[in-house]
Amino acid sequence: MDKVRRKNAATFAIAATACALLSAPAVSVAAPDAAPLAAKYNCTACHAADKKIVGPSYKEVAAKYAGDSGAAAKLEQKVKNGGGGVWGAIPMPPNNVPDADIKALVAWILSTK
CATH assignment at residue 45: 1.10.760.10
Domain extent at residue 40? 31-110
Q: Is residue 49 part of a domain?
A: yes
- Give the number of domains in the chain: 1
In a domain, 92, yes or no: yes
Residue 74 lies in a domain: yes
Query: pLDDT in tens for each of the 113 residues of the chain?
Result: 566 555 555 454 454 444 444 444 443 445 789 999 999 999 999 999 999 999 999 999 999 999 999 999 999 999 999 999 999 999 999 999 999 999 999 999 999 98
Tell me the helices (H) and strands (E) count for the chain, helix number first.
5, 0
Residue 2 lies in a domain: no
Residue 8 lies in a domain: no
pTM of model > 0.95 = no
Residue 1 within a domain: no
d(CA 31, CA 4): 48
